[in-house]
Amino acid sequence: MRFPVVLHTDDGTHYGVTVPDLPGCFSAGDSIDEALANVHEAIDLHLESLLEDESADLPVVQPISVHQKDPDYADGIWAMVDFDTSKYEGKAEKINITVPRRTLRKIDAYAASHGETRSGFLVRVAVEVMHKDVA
């Protein structure tokens, strides 16, 4: 999962980093690189706490453009942080589905052009659609 993060500094040396899609998740560092490295631990601890409830879901990540509208993040430096969420998603299960060949080719081409696997793409889209229905 790729989380957008925003970095702020008051002195140009020390940076705070916030993960907008995980309210209350933040970290810091004595440089941009250190702040981005430290945010991985903050995301890990935040998700661990969030998902202690078995019925809770991983958050749906919003594009940076959505978060940039928030005045709390004005003048921030934006970055994307890759984070492996597989340990929170449970064991993968194989399923057998039927998809028309033409549609399957389009799915595969789209997923490949966006750096995703077929399964990853289908799961991501399903989660996004289910999240929209709940919201």
pTM for this one? 0.71
From first to last of its 135 residues, the chain has per-residue pLDDT tens of: 899 999 999 998 999 999 999 999 999 999 999 999 999 999 999 999 888 877 777 888 889 999 999 999 988 999 999 998 888 877 788 999 999 999 999 999 999 999 999 998 998 898 888 877 655
Q: Which residues pair with 81 in a beta bridge?
A: 3
Buried-state track 90-125, b at ≥16 Cβ within 10 A, e below 16:
eeeeeeeeeeeeeeeeebeeebeeeebeeeebbebe
Cα gap 21→4, rounded to integer Å: 8
Task: State residue 134's pLDDT score.
Answer: 59
CB 121 within 8 A of CB 111: yes
Domain 1-90 top-level CATH class: alpha beta
Task: Specify the DSSP element, H or E, that contains 130.
Answer: helix 118-134
pLDDT for the residue 87? 82
Sheet of 15-18, strand order = 26-29, 15-18, 2-8, 77-82
Task: Tell me the domain boundaries of the chain.
Answer: 1-90, 92-135
